[in-house]
């Protein structure tokens, strides 16, 4: 995912990379996602998330 500001192109999120994500349910069945990149974070709706990202679920291990 790239953004162009003026003549400069910045890559916000790279295809194939794995990023941390938080899912928030506001009680009205609308889910919002917060995706944390290396330099940027992105808030998006369920529809926007599904158009641009794939959710990979994993179990946390205790250390």
pTM greater than 0.85? no
Render 27-61 in DSSP notation, one character per residue.
SSS-EEEEEE-SS-EEEEEHHHHHHH---------
- How much is the pLDDT for 32? 87
CA separation for the pair 9, 12 (Å, rounded): 10
Higher pLDDT, 60 or 39: 39
CA nearest 18: which of 58, 47, 48?
58
pLDDT tens digits, residue range 16-58? 888 888 888 777 677 888 989 888 888 888 888 888 888 887 6
> What band does 15 get if pLDDT is binned at 50, 70 and 90?
confident
> What band does 61 get if pLDDT is binned at 50, 70 and 90?
low
């Amino acid at each position: 995912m790239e953004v162009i500001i003026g003549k400069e192109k910045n890559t916000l999120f790279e295809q194939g990379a794995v990023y941390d994500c938080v899912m928030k349910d506001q009680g009205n069945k609308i889910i919002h996602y917060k995706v944390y990149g290396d330099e940027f974070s992105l808030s998006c709706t369920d529809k926007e998330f599904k158009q641009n990202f794939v959710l990979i679920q994993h179990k946390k291990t205790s250390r």
